[in-house]
Each structure stands twice: as C-alpha cells, then as structure tokens.
C-alpha cells in the first residue's frame, strides 16, 4: 500500500522553493481590500472548474458514491469562497472575467494538465483513470497551497476558516490514491511525471496573478487577458 504521508512530504520537498513566494503573494492579495474579494472569487472559480470537470467527465451511469461525494464537496468549496468573496465585496458576484484574477491562466492550469494526461494515457484511455489522476495531482497542490493560505488568513486576522475544506481536500487525496490502487492504476512514476507538469502550470498561474497585482498591469474593471495570450505565454 502506498504511504500517502510520504507522498505528501515528497511533494512538499519538491515545492519548498515556491513556498515563500506563494506566501508572499497570498499575504499581499489578502492585505488589499479590492484584491481580497477578487482572490476569493478566483479561488471559487477554480473550485467551480474542478467540480464542473468531474460532472462533465463522470456523469451518467459511471458515477459512483465517492465521485458524487467528491463533486458535492468541490462544489461546496466553490460556494465557500464565493460566500467570502461576496462578504468582502459587500455585494453579489458572478464569474465575469473582470471579477477574477488571471482567469485564462486559471482555466489553462486545468485544461493543460488534462491535455497532458490524455496525451500520456492515449486518446482511447479510460476517463475514470484520467479523472482520478487529475484529481490526485490537483489535490497535492490544493492541500499544499491551502495550508499556506490558512496561515496567511490567520496572520491577517481574517474571520475565515479553512479547516473543513483542508480536511476534505486531504480526504480527496487519500481517496484518489486508494481508488487508483484498487483499479491497479497507481504508479509513483506517473505521479512524479504529472507533478512536474503541474508545477510548471502552477508557476505560470502564480506569476500571472502576481503580475495582475502590480498596479500598472491591473485594473480590475478593464484588464482581461485572453485565453490565447495565456496559451502563448508558455
């Protein structure tokens, strides 16, 4: 049986050089009343993309109890961040591009990772395996980044708990490893291959968010980078 804590430690070690930068960007976003709600709305959007992807690829007769529970919890995370985004903003918010930070990069984070998996496993591959790997790789980042975010929220003295969300993300990570093992599909080599890909996409996303934060590059009413810009930024 795969030792999940050891996997999480390896992921942490591989990303140690990104920790301080991530903490700095999160702290900076939370410190600005305008960016605080934009950031929460963007996290909500990313959770929504995650939940939508589960629905789009696992719908119908293939959907089982753990998948439904996963879908329900990811939707709940989108709701949680949306609730706080609206609380910080003081009004209702949708996912219009102007109400998000670097949305094209957020979308590309998921779609490029998914494309790399479809390429790796082949066009005729099992959608369940891709769903399980997609979720697993994203969960490593989610657990890592939300632990950092929870620390930043606490330091900023904001009334916003990530305890339940973090427990659920950790639960998803465990569930994906176990389900891949049950299917005979878990491979440490494959995980490491996708970690590398994901890390590159995360760095692109964080850079884009950081760039948006700098005053000369970001005007939340007007600034919208396009998907093609995000794709050509590689």
Q: What is the DSSP-derived secondary structure letter of residue 84?
A: H
Kindly state the smallest distance separating residue 216's Cβ from Fe ion, in Å. 33
In whole angstroms, the minimum distance from the beta carbon of 73 to Fe ion comes to 6
Q: C-beta of 77: minimal distance to Fe ion in Å?
A: 4
Q: Which is nearer to Fe ion, 175 or 212 (CB)?
A: 175
Q: Closest distance between Fe ion and the C-beta of residue 170, in Å?
A: 9
CB nearer to Fe ion: give 47 or 198: 47
Q: Could you list the residues that contact Fe ion (CB under 5 A)?
A: 47, 74, 77, 169, 172
User: Which secondary-structure segment (H or E) carries 16?
Assistant: helix 16-31
> In the complex with Fe ion, which residue's Cβ is closer, 169 or 198?
169
3-state secondary structure 39-87: HHHHHHHHHHHHHHHHHHHHCHHHCCHHHHHHHHHHHHHHHHHHHHHHH
Q: How many helices (H) and strands (E) does the chain have?
A: 9, 0
Residue closer to Fe ion, measured from CB, 138 or 213: 138
The alpha carbon dihedral of 16, 142, 114, 192 has a sign of positive
Euclidean distance between the first and the last CA atom of the chain, given in angstroms as a whole number = 37
């Amino acid at each position: 049986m795969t030792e999940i804590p050891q996997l999480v430690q390896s992921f942490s070690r591989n990303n140690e050089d990104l920790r301080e930068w991530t903490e700095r960007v999160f702290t900076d976003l939370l410190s600005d009343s305008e960016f605080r709600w934009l950031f929460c709305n963007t996290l909500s959007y990313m959770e929504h993309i995650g939940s939508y992807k589960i629905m789009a690829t696992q719908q119908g007769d293939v959907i089982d109890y753990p998948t439904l529970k996963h879908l329900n919890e990811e939707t709940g995370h989108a709701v949680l961040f949306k609730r706080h985004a609206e609380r910080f903003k003081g009004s209702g918010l949708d996912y219009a591009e102007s109400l998000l930070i670097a949305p094209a990069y957020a979308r590309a984070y998921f779609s490029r990772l998914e494309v790399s998996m479809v390429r790796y496993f082949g066009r005729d591959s099992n959608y369940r395996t891709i769903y399980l790997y997609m979720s697993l790789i994203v969960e490593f980042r989610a657990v890592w980044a939300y632990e950092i975010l929870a620390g930043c929220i606490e330091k900023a003295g904001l009334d916003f708990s990530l305890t339940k969300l973090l427990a659920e993300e950790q639960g998803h990570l465990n569930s994906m490893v176990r389900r891949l093992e049950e299917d005979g599909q878990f491979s440490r080599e494959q995980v490491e291959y996708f970690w590398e890909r994901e890390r590159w996409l995360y760095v692109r996303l964080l850079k884009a968010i950081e760039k948006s934060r700098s005053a000369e590059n970001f005007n939340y009413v007007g600034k919208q980078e396009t998907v093609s810009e995000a794709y050509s930024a590689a």
